[in-house]
Amino acid sequence: DAKTTQPTSMDCAEGRAANLPCNHSTISGNEYVYWYRQIHSQGPQYIIHGLKNNETNEMASLIITEDRKSSTLILPHATLRDTAVYYCIVRSTQYGNKLVFGAGTILRVKS
Amino acid sequence: GAVVSQHPSRVICKSGTSVKIECRSLDFQATTMFWYRQFPKQSLMLMATSNEGSKATYEQGVEKDKFLINHASLTLSTLTVTSAHPEDSSFYICSATRPQGRSYGYTFGSGTRLTVV
């Protein structure tokens, strides 16, 4: 399974863009990058996923580098409700397409 | 769309008893369901992968006789914690997956807080 590396924690001012980086240097060509977040004592919430092109939806944008070894999740206008643990996951294409979670990044949005 | 219901949300049981947790995909048929466990201030740990009509595949170190998984239909998987002990107290989360374009969508339940006393 491709491993991911994320900063342990980050702070962001309310209303500003939050840029969360993720390194996945061992990713293989057909493995997708998924982003989820988890607010305390809830199940993970899907944010976005992509293969090699940049993606955008109503929640966020995902920027994947050309070599696919890293990506950045962008929350364009962070609010206090975006405070959560954000997980970057590379989906395994072997062994049942499972999602294996790393430690994630604790994002604190501050007013 | 893509809603996963997990029940119960909280359960307290006595040591030695068994507890069943249900995971249902409400508006789609899940090709595969996954079960995770999460201890306080830790990440989610994958316990097992469950496919309808076949035996679950357990991750290394997870006792299959202790954590019984039944996946009777494409919309329901159950996890039974047998002979529960206080160290089994944890937050259990299920996930259901379905094909989505060229990839897969993964939807998580809201979790079950198990406390064994």
Residue B80 has pLDDT above 70, yes or no: yes
**Mean of the per-residue pLDDT values for chain B?**
94
Closest by CA position to A45, among listed A31, A27, A33, A59: A59
* Interchain pair A103, B106: CB under 8 A: no
Q: Is the confidence at residue A95, as pLDDT, over 80?
A: no
Distance between CA B62 and CA B108 in Å, rounded?
Answer: 20
Q: How far is A79 from chain B (nearest CA, A)?
A: 22
pLDDT reading at B101 higher than 90: no
Would you mind telling me the total number of residues written for chain B in this entry? 117
At A1, the pLDDT band (50, 70, 90 cuts) reads: low
Determine contact: A29 vs chain B, CB below 8 A. no
Q: What value does the mean pLDDT of chain A take? A: 94
Residue A97: pLDDT over 90: no
Candidate from A45, A95, A104 with C-beta closest to B43: A104
pLDDT number for residue A8: 97
Cβ distance of A44 and B44 shorter than 8 Å: yes
Is A44's CB within 8 Å of B108's CB?
Answer: yes
> A41 pLDDT exceeds 90?
no
CB contact under 8 A, A97 and B32: yes
Burial A32-45 (b: 16+ CB within 10 A, else e): bbbbbbbeeeebbe
**Minimal CA separation from A54 to chain B, in Å:** 15
Give the dihedral sign, CA A27/A107/B110/B98: negative
Question: Could you write out the DSSP letters of every residue in A7-46?
Answer: -SEEEEETTS-EEEEEE-TT--TT--EEEEEE-TTS--EE
Give the mutation candidate from B103, B112, B113, B115 for the A interface (greatest A CB count, under 10 A).
B103
